[in-house]
Structure 1
Amino acid sequence: MTTKIGIVLGSTRPGRRGRMVADWVAKTGVEHLPEVHFDILDLADFGLPLLDEPQPPAAGQYSKHHTLRWSEAVGGYDGFVFVTPEYNRSITGALKNAIDFLYAEWNHTAAGCVGYGVQGATRAVEHLRLILSELKVATVRSQVSLSLFGDFTIEDPTLPGAFTPQAHHERTLVTVLRETVEWAEALQELRAGARA
């Protein structure tokens, strides 16, 4: 069975830089791990409102069309790579909200993290790790930290600019992807039992 990894694009802001980063993650994955299936899950495509389900996500009793659509998308993956900017020392509100909509769909999956920002989004990634641990997601040790100063060419700060990652980031990303796939495959039995 082919391992499926969802690349969660955690920014919905117009003019975001995250789409360039997510495309790079997907391209690198296809080039270096051709046996793995990679898809981008762009939060902007799901239009999730602020959490509006009457039952807690752990109950698994979803009543809204948008929740069911998001649940179906997330539930089809063995692991994830989260692409997140850093907003005020954390992840975006849109990403936290999307994570909070679901529970069992995240359980016993693996996740890698790719952050971008002034400080490389290291604080956002650390916060994301704490959030994911509550959902039984195994985050891998390696991470990619992209700097707005060194990995993007930005002439106008109001525009996305161009994504120009330094060469060493691709090596790190390949490590993140390999570790995520290895952990996702190691957790397969737990995941199958929980979803049965």
Structure 2
Amino acid sequence: MSTQTPKIAVIISSTRAARFADKPAAWLMAQAEKRDDFTAELVDLRDFDLPFFDEMASNKYMPSQDPKALAWQKKIAEFDGYVIVTAEYNHSITGALKNALDQAYVEWNRKPVGAIGYGGVGAARAIEHLRGIAVELEMVPVRTAVHIGGADFIAVHPMGANGEMETIEAHISDAATTMFDEIVWWANATMAARAPAASEAA
């Protein structure tokens, strides 16, 4: 069994200039830094400038060609699990996130994924869509997510009271802890299960 500490990516999945994602992402990273059972790294889709998916096929079937897609795949491959920071656009995830998910396949396989979502209903519908996509990518979507919705969303959003995340922390910290617990459990389990294949490939 692997004794390596899981490495988890916290992925900011909105790229628009007026996005709110940075605020909950920073809060979540602060929660992650309090733990010693995994390490976390912030990954921002803005930094990858991904084109719309235009490969001959998913890299499940043949290698990708675009250097930007390859750079994204290389980055994603570094991690043992993921937490996606997501808005809800028209009852689903952002187009930028769907494209980023499509730009890789084998790198996502057999790794856990959770989410922190924000909006009127805490991005509940977007996160449910994300879980379905994750299953098709052979990931392990965890049960618990962090939902910042309703009055909590208004309390911290710039178009509302623009308060600090700490003003709603009591409402969301338990969910964040549980989500991290689930991701770590599954990350350790899937790392151990992937280890024989990784050894053979090496």
Looking at structure 2, the residues matched to 81 and 187 of structure 1 have their Cα atoms a distance apart, in angstroms, of 16
Q: Which among 21, 35, 58 is matched to residue 24 of structure 2?
A: 21
Question: Counterpart amino acid of 1:179?
Answer: E
Q: What SS does structure 2 have at the residue aligned with 1:44?
A: helix
* Corresponding residue number in structure 2 for 1:66: 68
TM-score by length of 2: 0.88
Q: Which among 164, 174, 182 is matched to residue 179 of structure 1?
A: 182
Go from structure 1 to structure 2 and tell me whether the alpha carbon gap of 1:139 and 1:13 turns closer, same or farther (over 3 Å shift): same
Q: Which among 71, 93, 96 is matched to residue 94 of structure 1?
A: 96
1:90-120 CA-partner distances (Å, limit 9, x unpaired): 0000000000001100000001111111111
Looking at structure 2, the residues matched to 117 and 57 of structure 1 have their Cα atoms a distance apart, in angstroms, of 33
* Corresponding residue number in structure 2 for 1:10: 13
* Corresponding residue number in structure 2 for 1:124: 126
Gapped regions of structure 2 (runs ≥ 5)? none
Gapped regions of structure 1 (runs ≥ 5)? none
| Pairs aligned (count) | 193
Contact 2:37 2:184 in 1 (8 A): no
Q: RMSD over aligned Cα, in angstroms? A: 1.8
Matches within 5 A, 1:1-196: 1-31=4-34, 33-147=35-149, 149-151=151-153, 152-154=155-157, 156=159, 161-164=162-165, 165-195=168-198, 196=201
Structure 1: which 4+ aligned runs deviate by more than 6 Å?
none
TM-score by length of 1: 0.91
Looking at structure 1, the residues matched to 36 and 164 of structure 2 have their Cα atoms a distance apart, in angstroms, of 23
Q: By how many angstroms is 1:148 displaced? A: 5.5
Identity %: 37
Q: By how many angstroms is 1:58 displaced? A: 1.2
Looking at structure 2, the residues matched to 131 and 21 of structure 1 have their Cα atoms a distance apart, in angstroms, of 23
Go from structure 1 to structure 2 and tell me whether the alpha carbon gap of 1:60 and 1:191 turns closer, same or farther (over 3 Å shift): farther
1:10-41 CA-partner distances (Å, limit 9, x unpaired): 1111111111111111110111x224110011
